[in-house]
Structure 1
């Protein structure tokens, strides 16, 4: 094949080659490993086949070939800091692969690889060398692979033995593994070598320089490691896992010494160059490469449901995006939002091979633009403060940014601490991370559940220190009632030994069925009774001011309550049932939103009350009515399934590995509750829930709205609340139907018809009014009187209408030639008068404004306006005839002699 092959052609040639050899072409899996909590991102082609290799999963094919999307930018496989500064480090890349699941093994794998590289790609054998495992860690050297390469015609002096680090492959500390064999391509001895620069000999294939480039890695999957550092266990059927980086192969085939010089990147780099107005040179190259690479990672990660955030995968994505934006702003001088345009170019260039990019284009670009706009504000503030601090350090000779400054940047200005560290290192400084983390811990200890200072929480910390965490009884059985002992009474911020009727106080019990507000679920209400019913206490709320303690906010209605009293506790049962239903419904709503709007949906806050639930989630556009109905249908389907709700208490690590979703606002300890309301929904949650999904009853969305950029809010009701909502809507509909004299099903049709009828009648009324005015003007003009050589007309038109009066006055004035016109009428019990004068009359000194002011006095009002037209009004409409008649006297008196 000619060296001019594009990357797309190489990808297709690879897949076709293995399809011809009975391999199933399998689509790339998501960058977010499905059901695999051991990986941050999909980082190799074999990830989606992991359980197939171990025999835990069976498929209807034993050979497969893929072009797998991969990201290495976090965890064990993290190339982020090298990206842009080397020829082939990337955050996102494609891994071409062919796989055998207990079918062919080393002989065919080696034969296939050599044929594709030398025949299909046409690479010269003089430039190729291979490596095999030399044997280490009680694992024998791979003599079989050595002989199989020699059988392909590879010179024995080009088959090199390398150690465990280079030629034994493992995806992680656990999982499938085995010896590997690599194909290397010789790029040229003119490429600089770090060893030679240090006066040592280049190590050839084993050297860290780029003279020899690994382009193909054959993993002979023979073993599995169950636990870290445990002995290797032979797999039941040896398998093959091949990894061939498309970017590297493209550079070799296209005769390039850098992946960034291939067609995979040139189109993107051209866009970056255009945006910054600078050519792609050695000076700007690193930053342009950073932007190009990170735009690819951003497009693909967001398309697969990852969004920038401050945790886990979202945090890695945020680091990638912000690193690119900072290079664009600081190094390339692009001062306007630009990154989304580069991401759009990625979508344009790669959308054919990966349709999910085009399908999600709108959302991907919204995420990119939103993140950049927010970060630019952070960047400007943070960089200014950093410049000031570094200037001080330079003046004093210091070399470390203090933890106080890092904390200020992070907490006050939203400047990520790791970005501070990166920028500081670039400028030759260190940061005091230990001091920063200590300040974080100290501040966290000062805050209670209302964000108030430590003085409020000290009391409850002292109570907890001398007693024990509150035992919550609400999970057991019905969990509505219980018995406990009063451990402390806190009134007005002070511990007291007892309180009497009328007192408002905080009560701490050793055991309680009252749920303390957390995770969005409101605290319970109810009663506490002591002394055989002589003491009655109303519980208005329950909170958790410190972790482990439930505090009851109460009002003593009768009797006296003392520390040490044994009390009977009872929660408002109906309120608790409603809260449980609404809380369980939020879990199902969360899952339904992911199904309908996309896996990018993440909880951003919630309120679980007895009469409604409120759920905030990440999404950039309003949900359509059709989407909301789909969400309702899904939730109500799961409700009707009436599945048993299950609760398991698990270790936090085991819970996360099980795939349980963490709920917003929860703080988790080593042991957590994992709640499965329905098989479709499993989440970490400390709240109270229904026993069966059917207990939720009807689920109904009442509103959907935006609350912040990229955050939407749904309010919904369940059970009795949903029934009440539907009934209210039904009652209103029936009222409207009765007014329209139709049935509820025909209301929309009748309203539409009525609206059309009203518009038609309004049009006809206007037509009649215009015709009537025109027809009556001749008769009206006949009523005009002659006053001192001028025509004067005063007439009444009811009902009065300002617009109609002005139109009539204009027309009459035009036809009267020379004179004064007055039109009066009644509107809502008030008199309205309008006076108009022709230009020649105004020129004689007669003003319509003066005339109307005098006429207004007759109706008890005031008026005024311009000399040619003026208006007045007054409360005494009965005097309109007198006011109109007065016009003639006024004109006569005002007329020049």
Structure 2
């Protein structure tokens, strides 16, 4: 069977079992805990965890994968690869072990028709359930079922879904074995080939390593396409299958080496073929070479390919010829790689050229080390040096040994291998837990690969340009389509990126086939201009010509506000003093904010003088000039600079008339008259000795004044007077209100005396203490407190419990004179007994407490209970 036939038969088989056929996901996983997609289950991890709901419960895929944990074995064994394809079927809380085992066996024996005598299986040592299914359901003899340890407990990373697994193994025969007497399943030799791993996902491993049962049991399986193809095509190793042999042939032609003639040279041919395939797919999925994260994986793979090519005598660029072969071989299964080929070759070719230069440097260092060793009469190079040469420049041990032997030196291989093993242990412990590539690294690689963007925004509002890179979720891609959120990097742009307090431009990027709405503009790295937005129609691709157009009206408003802040700083220094310095700013299209150093609040009169000065310069239509000059010249001419800003040798100077000079990289109007009008809207403190002024200009200032005028007219209308007479009218009303308030207060006092007289007339005497337990109609809580205070002031010894209602709610006050509190009475304790009767609660001090309730109909009962409680507190028997 051809590889294409294997792929299709696998998908067809599981589709017949009710599985949804889904495409391969990217090698860049949408998961910050994973560096690369290393298994078919990665795209389904949120489903396994119950975080994402889908309309199907079964799926099947052919997933492109990449692993580098055993990179040193690539080319040396028959099975190890970095890039490979994984055939997988998945159950999300649907079928489980029985069906997964039965169907896998059915596919292997009935569709692939593999001989039964060549097959055996492994299970996790404690998984009796799987053992019974293989023995009793599949009818596999017990001597064909091998219990294994931790290797048969699988997870995609240090945390997340995991569970026991069962592997289907293929016995290649003694010729592929190690020859040891005890060679059996589990041996590291090539005899027993794992074809398919069935993982029974039933746990979630937390950050502390604890296992928790998943909400639903799941199935995750993975079968190696290249391994199955090797068996089905009757070849000796994965590299001789139809997905790798054409690439091997291309490499052999380039290097003029005959495949199969030399085991040592075959290793290099295989490494170049495997790594070139991995490099092509990584770049196609948006990974760029870097020194960290997945970018480092790409760089390391490409450099190893170059070094192995050198071992075969190739010192000229070759990688793009191999990529041609990769694309041709894989195009039917992954057509997207065809469209990405120019991009892949550009990145890979550039990286190859750079490394060849680095390689020359490494050879120089090696030459120096050999010379030093000979001068010191040493017979070998240290393992530490060889390892550093490998780790820094990617030199393989074989190349160092070959060069050293030519010069009569050996290499301390044991020390080197010990250091390699230490690094390998660290890598295996962390490869799956690497954090997602930092956003900053993407920008660094984009700038390194494509150079800086030319900013044209000081002169123009639109420009023709070309797309250099497209970024989606920190990944560089070759195209974006309708609905994608993107960051577009152009070779030249009229868009101003947010800087120095001025917000970035908005606008559109248009191509023949697409339209991108730009909603923000940033310069995350010097020279890298990121046009942030969304593709609203069609598509946009790299190297495509575009028209970039700034929202001109919005930019003009920003220009007005930015120039206004320069005028504001000049005026503030005139009014408040030369100690004023800018401490921050924000320039937006509809407003501006300006922070300044000043030791006191700014008075209304001072703000008015500032406004008048600024507007006088606006109305006199002063010219605004911008030009680049040396930093020293700018300072010598009195230009104002931000105290915390670092400036280079050359700076941009903004000069207004003959009175304002500031170092500034923002956009500005050409004369102050364009600002139209200036208005301060607020002033206040934002920290010690720092004040903040906010304001508006032009149309926004007019809108602000209209709003103020509308409020004035409305107030005048409500008071039935002319706006010019409003102040006088308000003053008169305030005087009237004051007089009426005094009269009301006087009336309230008189009413309170009357109420208090009534309450005291109803008071009961208990051992010389006046006890007032009454309902007071129409009183609010303030009135009740006032009555309680007045009564306590009026009589010698007294205890009160007053109640009232308002809005269908109950209010209670309990109080006592100081002598009664001293004697042990507690108003708070009294209300704790009484308040629940009216459906409420409350509390307070022993001398005064208050409570509320929601059952007015129970007031009489509450007061009756209160009277009983007071008598008990006073020691009076019922």
TM-score, normalised with respect to structure 2: 0.49
TM-score, normalised with respect to structure 1: 0.48
